[in-house]
Amino acid sequence: MRFLLLAFLALFVASPAALAQAHKGRPAAAKKAAPRPAARPNWLTTIVKTPEAGYRIGNPNASLKLVEYGSRSCPTCARFAAESKPLFSSYVASGKVSYEFRDFLIHPQDIAISLLGRCVPTARYFSTLDAMFAGQPGFNARGQALTDADFKALEDMEVVPQARALSDKLGYTAFFKQRGMTEARVTQCLADRPALIELGKITGDAQKLGVNGTPSFFLNGRKLDNVYSWAQLEPLLK
């Protein structure tokens, strides 16, 4: 085959007429299309678990890195979640700000609901967190309706059974099942000892940084004192 190919090429080299004939009728070379500009990353779908065991949304190289230590049962945290939509639609979407949420355990139910909230697929982490905050008034109302007998029974339980009981009584189990989590998965998530240890470490590390309540914000590693609302936070981002 190689000899035939060489002979074929030699024919055109030896015969300009043959070369001209071969070229005749060829379509003109297509003009090179201009390279398309690189697609802009969608930072609102860029979600990862960080080495500090929080979850971050946005540009990992953003010039402003915002971290919130929050409790999923904290009303002030829920209020911040409701009023801070521009944080995501403007600041995070632009790539200028990344936002990371780290669970800080305050109330008894925080163990159960943090375990469940961190047990969803990473891509659904922040949509689930938002839905938990949106439904918080109903969850907390059920907690306030617990009787002394309920609390006594809870006190006598080990951590895992207590977490399950609180999840059931406050409506979180139903919340997650409505979003596709199976009974087996709920049980598995609430019994996840390494995840429980991880939650304890996040809270312990936060306390060493001076966190003693929620929400607590850090901007580029600096704690923002007396900042609890979007109205207080946005000027600092600007």
Question: What are the backbone angles phi and psi of residue 15, rounded to the nearest 5°?
Answer: -125, 95
Scanning the structure block, which residue is given the tokens 């049980």?
A: 187
Contacts of 223 (CB under 8 A, 6+ apart): 209, 210, 211, 216, 217
Q: What is the pLDDT of residues 102-148, one digit of tens each?
A: 999 999 999 999 999 999 999 999 999 999 999 999 999 999 999 99
Q: What is the pLDDT of residues 144-160, one digit of tens each?
A: 999 999 999 999 999 99
Q: What are phi and psi of 179, to 5 degrees?
A: -100, 20
Residues in the chain: 238
Looking at residue 34, what is its pLDDT?
A: 65
Tell me the pLDDT band of 173, cut-offs 50, 70 and 90: very high
Backbone CA torsion sign across 176, 182, 186, 192: negative
pLDDT for residue 15 is more than 90: no
Distance CA 216, CA 231 (A): 15
Q: What does the pLDDT read at residue 202? A: 98
* Cα 92 from Cα 17, distance rounded (Å): 65
Q: Check residue 14 and give its pLDDT.
A: 42
Tell me what pLDDT residue 2 has: 36
pLDDT tens digits along 204-213: 999 999 999 9
Domains annotated for the chain, with CATH where assigned, are: 43-237 (3.40.30.10)
| Cβ atoms 101, 55 nearer than 8 A | yes
Residue 160 contacts residue 191 (beta carbons within 8 Å)? yes
